[in-house]
C-alpha cells in the first residue's frame, strides 16, 4: 500500500501493553499510525519503528481536540480509531472514594466517548471508518471489589452497541474487543489499588483471596498476551465485515459463554469458587 493510499489509524493508550502491540501490528499491515499517550517518552520505541507519537490525555478535552486536528491537517482522514486507553482500579464499592470512581469513568468511558465524537464527523463525510473500543470481559461478568471498573465496562458495551446502529448508515463499523486476563501492567495496578483500598477492614479477607487468585491467573496458561488482543483489533480494522465483538484469548471466550448460559445465582457461585479460593 502506497503512503498516499495508506489507511490512517489513531491508537490511544499506546505507551505499553495492548496499545503498543496494536501499533506494531497496524504498522505491519501498512497503516499510518498515530500513537497517543500521556507519556510520550515511553513511546520512543514505537516512534523509531514508524509510528507518529502524540501527547494525548483522554481526560483533557483540549488534548484530544488538538490530536485529532493535527491528524486531519496532516492526513485529511482518520480511518480507524482504537479506543484502548483505560485502567482498572479495584476495591470495595463502599470504600472506593467517589473521586476515584469518577476518574475511572472519565478515563474509561467519557474519554472514549469524546474522542469518538471528535473523529466521527470526518468519517461520516468520507462515509467509511472503524471505531474499535477495547472493553473487557468485565463488561459481561462481575467480580467482588470490582464494582466501579465493571460499571465503566458495562457502560462501554452499551454505548458501543447503540453507536453501532447510529453510524451504520454512514458506512462506519463499531467493534468491541473484550480482553480477558492479559499479561500487562494493568494487573499490577488493579491488585495494588485493591490492596490499598480494601486490604484492611471488613473486606480484607476478600482482597487477600482475590489477590492470590489473580497472581496465579497472571502466571498461568489461561492468561493471554497483548499481541493476541492486538491481532483481534487488526482483524476488526481490516475485515470486510468485522465482528461486532470479540473476546480474547480462548479463556475469555469461555467466560463470556458461561455467563450467557448460567443464571445469576449460578454465576455467583462459580465466581466465588474461582476468585475466593486463594
Helix, strand, coil percent values for the chain (each to nearest 5): 55, 15, 30
Residue identified by cell 499510518 is 32
If we measure between CA atoms, which residue out of 132, 26, 148 comes closest to residue 87?
Answer: 148
Question: What one-character DSSP code corresponds to residue 11?
Answer: E
Instruction: Write the CB contacts of 129 (distance below 8 Å, at least 6 apart in sequence).
Output: 78, 79, 80, 81, 119, 120, 122, 123, 167, 170, 171, 172, 173
19 within 8 A of 13, measured Cβ to Cβ = yes
149 is catalytic: yes
Write down the catalytic residue from 34, 149, 203, 214.
Answer: 149
Residue numbers annotated as active site? 149
Amino acid at each position: 500500500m502506497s503512503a498516499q493510499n495508506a489507511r490512517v489509524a489513531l491508537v490511544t493508550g499506546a505507551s505499553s501493553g495492548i496499545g503498543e502491540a496494536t501499533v506494531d501490528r497496524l504498522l505491519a499491515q501498512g497503516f499510518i499510525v498515530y500513537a497517543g499517550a500521556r507519556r510520550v517518552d515511553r513511546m520512543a520505541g514505537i516512534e523509531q519503528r514508524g509510528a507518529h507519537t502524540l501527547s494525548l490525555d483522554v481526560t483533557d478535552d483540549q488534548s484530544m481536540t488538538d490530536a485529532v486536528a493535527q491528524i486531519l491537517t496532516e492526513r485529511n482522514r482518520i480511518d480507524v480509531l482504537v479506543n484502548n486507553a483505560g485502567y482498572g482500579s479495584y476495591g470495595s464499592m463502599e470504600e472506593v472514594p467517589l473521586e476515584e470512581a469518577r476518574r475511572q469513568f472519565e478515563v474509561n468511558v467519557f474519554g472514549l466517548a469524546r474522542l469518538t465524537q471528535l473523529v466521527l464527523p470526518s468519517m461520516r463525510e468520507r462515509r467509511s471508518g472503524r471505531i474499535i473500543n477495547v472493553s473487557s470481559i468485565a463488561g459481561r461478568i462481575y467480580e467482588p471489589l470490582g464494582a466501579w471498573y465493571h460499571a465503566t465496562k458495562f457502560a462501554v458495551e452499551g454505548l458501543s452497541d447503540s453507536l453501532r446502529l447510529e453510524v451504520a448508515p454512514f458506512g462506519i463499523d463499531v467493534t468491541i474487543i473484550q480482553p480477558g486476563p492479559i499479561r500487562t501492567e494493568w494487573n499490577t495496578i488493579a491488585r495494588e489499588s485493591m490492596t490499598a483500598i480494601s486490604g484492611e477492614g471488613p473486606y480484607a479477607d476478600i482482597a487477600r483471596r482475590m489477590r492470590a487468585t489473580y497472581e496465579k491467573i497472571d502466571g498461568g496458561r489461561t492468561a493471554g498476551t497483548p499481541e493476541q488482543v492486538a491481532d483481534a483489533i487488526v482483524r476488526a480494522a481490516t475485515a470486510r465485515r468485522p465482528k461486532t465483538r470479540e473476546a480474547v484469548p480462548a479463556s475469555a471466550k469461555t467466560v463470556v459463554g458461561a455467563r450467557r448460559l448460567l443464571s445469576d445465582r449460578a454465576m455467583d457461585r462459580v465466581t466465588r469458587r474461582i476468585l475466593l479460593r486463594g
